[in-house]
Amino acid sequence: MSMKKERIIRLTLSYLVIFVMFAIILYPVLWIIGSSFNPGQSLSGSSIIPENATLKHYQFLFDLEKSNYLYWYWNSLKVSFITMALTVIMVSLTAYTFSRYRFIGRKNGLLAFLILQMVPNFAALIAIFVLALLTGLLDTHLGLILVYVGGQIPINTWLMKGYLDTIPKELDESAKIDGAGHLRIFLQIIMPLAKPIIAVVALFSFIAPFADFIIANILLRSEKNFTLAVGLYNMVAKQFGAEFTKFAAGSVLIAIPIAILFLSFQRYFVSGLTAGGTKG
């Protein structure tokens, strides 16, 4: 077999695998979108292109007299953006400290973070609930944000530290010779070079609370404080599963901010993620 034929076969197989994977990923998405336009309430008869497509489910969700969906959407955006901002700030400072300074307890601190990131937040649900109850943070977005930020710090600190370790320390030393202080070095030299990993941490810390159901369902009690995941679940549960097409419409809209954020950070995402895992 000639080299040209081998190349054609490899190329054909590659495109075939990509097409199959693309179809597997895309079909459920298209099916959910089609279901959101289905005039009925059941998903059993839904199809990618529904007959008699309608926007009534979207109209229902945006009607404040019938649904609290817009409140849930705002709550999710607020919690996710504040979590993202606080996580990026705290992780940046923590990772910079572990990467650039040598101090007593440094190794033990990194080891503690490594152990903590192995324990998911929902494994401590009872403790989180009791702590929120005792501090008066039950059914508040502040309590939810604090739990999310605390859960994001360990793994993202390791990720960002690995990236900061790849930035030459000679840059710090040159800046010190020129009279720059620690804060100026951090803000004007290190952080601009760390944009890729900052984008990765920001994306991860936004998606996690935006899509979370378990912790939000434990801490939130009043309907207008619900996030999207909790609100949509309760909307279906209250109707004994008779609102699945409205659930589909709500699920489609959930993807919009995540897609916008991902597309905005896409140019940084791959380089930041791979560089962060090159050095511990």
pLDDT value, residue 167 = 87
Residue of 213 and 47 predicted with greater confidence: 213
In tens, the pLDDT along 101-129 reads 888 888 898 888 888 777 776 778 888 89
Whether 45 shows a pLDDT value over 70: the answer reads: no
In tens, the pLDDT along 215-241 reads 999 999 888 899 999 998 888 776 555
* Architecture in CATH of 65-276: Orthogonal Bundle (1.10)
The Cα–Cα gap between 125 and 141 comes to 16
In tens, the pLDDT along 192-218 reads 889 889 998 999 899 989 989 989 999
pLDDT value, residue 276 = 45
pLDDT value, residue 5 = 81
Instruction: Write out the residue limits of the CATH 1.10.3720.10 domain(s) in the chain.
Output: 65-276
pLDDT value, residue 277 = 44
With tokens 């000639």, the residue in question is 2
pTM for the structure as a whole = 0.83
pLDDT value, residue 279 = 45
